[in-house]
Structure 1
Amino acid sequence: MEEFDSGDYHDKFSSFYTYIRTIGKGSFGKVVKAIDKYTGITCAVKIIKKSSYSDEVLSALRFESEILSSLDHPNIVKFLHVRESDNRIFIGMEYIRGGNLSDLIQNKTISESKAAKIMTGIFRAVEYLHNRGIVHRDLKPANILISNPKDLTTVKVADFGLCTQLGIFSRTDEKCGTVIYMAPELAAGKNYNKEVDIWSCGIIMFKLLCKGKHPLYRQKDTKDSYFAKLQNPKWVFPKNFSPLAQNLFLKLMKIPPIERYTAGQVLAHPWILQKNIAIPLTYLEKMRQLDSDMKLRGFVYSLLFASLIYPSN
């Protein structure tokens, strides 16, 4: 048999792989666990049916494999090979045993120290990608794989099916990705840059600290109502969200993309480093504090003045 048959692939084989089981669905294709017949290595294989996509999309998928083959970072899933038959494209990647972040966060309390370790791994990968002019465009918990539950800084970013490389031939105005992780400029179809990944990371961070709850999206939301929220988001933090965590989150979620933290800045933030330090007040916060101090001072002066005029016997 030349390639995987359609369906669930049970008891089906190809000239390339021995099928074990289906482990998920990535952008553009089903992902299976299989044994590479040439090397004997267990791998994750994304299977793309050519007839389901245009030539332009298939070119983009081949581009994904080119990008993956050029990457070498401990927090990015390792690319193994790309193979083709008459009807399908197979992208082979290292198999990660620990599942993904989506499984980890559902209705589970994750401490800030654990969340910081996970975000450290994610931002190390993002910094590496951005330094090479690569924008992932679909960062979300399902695309973050857990390689070692005992060392959460070793999480790996996966599924580069929607990534793009910044340059004169790349489009950065096409709307793509998962709606509830999209930055406002991406959702609006405006020109965008690597800052869209930073926004997505902010959503992931919030969900880590809030048992999988999204900071904006609610079940009753339509696509349009959610996009409307993106234009003027109202952030509400639960009590377990520390001031340092809030400070970092707000740096990631600035509406003007240019004001968002870079991945490098994030990695130097005290929350990521788990350093318990006081956060410098912003100008507005300083003015509010000064106003509060002035009111208190005025109240004290009025009491002193009253005591002088009406001394007690």
Structure 2
Amino acid sequence: MSALIGHKLGPYHILEMIGRGGMAAIYKAYQPSTDRLVAVKVLLDSRTDDPQVVRRFEHEAHVIAGLEHRNIVPVYDFGREGELLYLAMRYMRAGTVSDLLRRGPLTPADAACILNDVAAALDYAHQRDVIHRDIKPNNILVDAQGHSHLTDFGLAKVLNDSLDLTRSGASIGTPAYMAPEQVADEPISARTDIYALGVMLYEMITGVLPFSAESPMATAIMHLQHTLRPAREINPMIPIEVDAVIRRAMEKRPEKRFPTAGAMAQALAQAAGGASHPTAITGEGVHRSELATLVPFSMEGRTLYLTELAREVAETKGPEEVTPEVRRALQRQQQEGRRKRLLAFAPWAAVGLLVVTLTATLAAFVRGSADSRASAAATATAIQALILQLSDAQTAMAGNVPGAQGTLAHLQTQIASVSSPQAGVSVTPITSAVNMRTSIATAQAGPTQTSIATVSTARTSTSQTATIPPAPTSQPPEPATLPPVVNTLITDPPGIIPTLGGLLP
């Protein structure tokens, strides 16, 4: 689950892992929409591929989000991201009761203070038919002022109504606080939470669990079958009245327990009224794990009151406010995220650029081919016009048609320009082919045959009118007036010139 650090889960930027239990991992995260820090609890082994598990999670999350009590950690949001189910809760600069117990057992008075806050939260939830199912020190936060807050309502039910105690790696903590009816898979009630509260009280004032075995299954069976070892056997300085509260809370049969958590808290407060701090004990007859936990307060030279201890533990946690350090961490994460996205996108961008380049090259090639075909067609048309005019000019020269010599000279100029590779073809029709042929026919037939030549020319082209040249005069003939030049580009003139050589005089 450490892979989530530095990434987003839903709308939350995961900053660091701050806790992990048998059912969930807890992260400190940043919520941009509200500019605040939150605690995101991600369920482990949530089996999101099971629709029943997802529906159960959504139902329980709705119920938990509706709990509003000063001693209950508020739930802001819940959701699903891929295969992960998560809850977003208030982030508190606080330690857990487990953190406090690492410094040693608590006095009955301090334990009564914690239990009073937790009992108030449980009575509020029980009145709304919400059973916690997983009361334990890890699920109770203690802020710097020594106030306790209950968290993780209903998560045990979300994952499984009865935990798989035979599974390798199953949480040892949860079976250690389970009531006999939970182990036997019998109906549970509010008094199931009261049993777990009695187990936690036992641990807070002795520093050890009432039942512990090699495996989760063996521990759970001890709750079901074994007799409770009195707390006074571990610490004789515990008042008899406090021990009696523990024994009643941990009765095997639910109906013999306290009716409410508040009733248990009131009984403990009365029993712990004149209780002293836990005292040092000898190691005779005590398990070595117990010796490791029972640190005599007198040896430390001071008394650890709840407020002092809670403040010490809270100061080891990160602040609740969004500090400049947090913002710098967010900036680094965002920069790293952009870098990773760029690296992931780069190969695809290169492939895309290559595809675009190849497409553009192919389009240019196709467009160039089309232009070449159009140019070749225009060149062929121009050559046909030149050949036709050359033929007509030669015929006119043979028939002594006035102006034919000028026409032929102009055509030769055009052919000379074609001979240059850098030049295009400039085709200047001296007269239309029809008019040239009309002049030739007139010169050969004489005046009496003019009408016949005209009729013949009309059959050649109905769109042109025959033009009879003027009668010869003594003055030298003038070149015919040239119509506007029609320019047609020839892309490869040298390849055409050889075909015109035989047509020139």
Q: Which position in structure 2 is the counterpart of 1:19?
A: 14
Contact 1:24 1:31 in 2 (8 A): yes
Q: Is the 8 A contact 1:140 1:181 kept in 2?
A: yes
Shift, 1:28, TM fit: 4.4
Is the contact between residue 177 and residue 199 of structure 2 (CA under 8 Å) also seen in structure 1? yes
Q: What residue number does 2:242 align with?
A: 245
Post-superposition shift, 1:16? 0.8
Task: State the secondary structure of the residue aligned to 1:224.
Answer: helix
Per-residue Cα deviation, 1:135-156 (whole angstroms, up to 9, x for no partner): 11111111111123x32xx211
The CA deviation at 1:29 is: 3.5
Q: Where do residues 106-145 of structure 1 align in structure 2 (5 Å cutoff)?
A: 106=102, 108-145=104-141
Which of 263, 266, 269 is the matching residue for 2:264? 266
CA distance in 1, matches of 2:230, 2:252: 16
Q: Which one has the bigger strand percentage?
A: 1
Aligned to 2:195: 199
Distance in 2 between residues matched to 1:241 and 1:273, nearest whole Å: 10
**Which residue is equivalent to 1:303?**
none
Q: 1:201 to 1:51 in 2, by over 3 A?
A: closer
Match in the other structure for 1:257: 254
Q: Deviations over 1:105-154 (max 9, x none)?
A: 13513112111111111111111111111111111111111123x32xx2
**Is 1:224 matched with 2:222?**
no
Residue of 236, 244, 251 corresponding to 2:230:
236
- Measured in 2, the distance between the counterparts of 1:243 and 1:53 equals 52
| Partner of residue 275 from structure 1, selected from 253, 273, 276 | 273
Offset, 1:174: 4.1
Match for residue 34 of structure 1 among 8, 29, 36: 29
SS at match of 1:197: helix
State whether structure 2 residue 42 is matched by structure 1 residue 44.
no
* Distance in 2, Cα, partners of 1:60 & 1:27: 19
User: Hey, what's the Cα distance between the residues in 2 that align with 1:132 and 1:14?
Assistant: 31
Q: Distance between the aligned counterparts of 1:28 and 1:234, measured in 2?
A: 27
Q: Secondary structure at the match of 1:134?
A: coil
Alpha-carbon distance change, 273 to 97 in structure 1, aligned in 2, over 3 angstroms: farther
Give the letter for the 1:186 counterpart.
Q
Distance 1:107 1:15 in 2: 37
Mapped pair 1:54 → 2:47: no
Partner of 1:135: helix, strand, or coil? coil
Contact preservation (8 Å) 1:266, 1:272: no
CA distance in 2, matches of 1:129, 1:163: 16
Structure 2 counterpart of 1:297: none
RMSD between superposed Cα atoms in Å: 2.7
Aligned partner (choices 92, 97, 101) of residue 96 of structure 1: 92
Aligned residue for 1:195, secondary structure, equals helix
Residue pair 1:119, 1:272 contacting (<8 A) in 2 also: no
Partner AA of 1:244 in structure 2:
E
Counterpart code for 1:271: A
CA distance in 2, matches of 1:210, 1:241: 9
Query: Once the two structures are aligned, what percentage of the paired residues are identical?
Result: 24
The corresponding residue for 2:354 is: none
Deviation at 1:226, TM superposition (A): 4.6
Q: Which amino acid aligns with 2:249?
A: L
User: For 1:127 and 1:194, how far apart are their aligned partners in 2?
Assistant: 9
Q: What secondary structure is seen at the aligned counterpart in 1 of 2:135?
A: coil
Q: Report the Cα distance in structure 2 between the residues aligned to 1:244 and 1:105, rounded to whole angstroms.
A: 22
Match of residue 74, structure 1, among 70, 74, 97: 70
Say if 1:20 and 1:185 are closer, same or farther in 2 by CA, change over 3 A: same
Alpha-carbon contact 1:183-1:196 (below 8 Å) kept: yes
Does the CA contact (< 8 Å) of 1:44 and 1:93 recur in 2? yes
Q: How far apart, CA to CA, are the structure 2 residues paired with 1:48 and 1:110?
A: 31
The one-character-per-residue Cα deviations of 1:185-234 (angstroms, maximum 9, x if unpaired) are 111112221211011001100110012x001224x466236514532413
CA distance in 1 between counterparts of 2:123 and 2:229 reads: 26
Decide which moves more: 106-115 or 226-235: 226-235
Matched residues in 1 for 2:229 and 2:219: separation?
16
| 1:8 equivalent in alignment to 2:27 | no
Cα deviation for residue 99 of structure 1 reads: 2.0
Please tell me whether the aligned partners of residues 134 and 163 of structure 1 are also in contact (alpha carbons under 8 angstroms): no
Distance between the aligned counterparts of 1:201 and 1:98, measured in 2?
A: 20
Counterpart CA distance in 2 for 1:162 and 1:260 is 24
Structure with the higher fraction of residues in helix conformation: 2
Q: Which runs of 5+ in 1 are unaligned?
A: 1-5, 166-172, 278-313
Structure 2 stretches lacking a partner, 5+ long: 164-170, 276-505
* Larger displacement relative to structure 2 (87-96 or 257-266): 87-96
Match of 2:155 among 156, 159, 162: 162
Which structure has the larger Rg? 2
The question of 1:215 aligning with 2:210 is answered yes
Q: Give CA deviations for 1:275-302 in whole Å, capped at 9, x if unaligned.
A: 349xxxxxxxxxxxxxxxxxxxxxxxxx
One-letter amino acid of the counterpart of residue 21, structure 1: E
Answer whether contact 2:241 2:271 (CA < 8 A) is retained. no
Deviation, 1:26, is 5.0
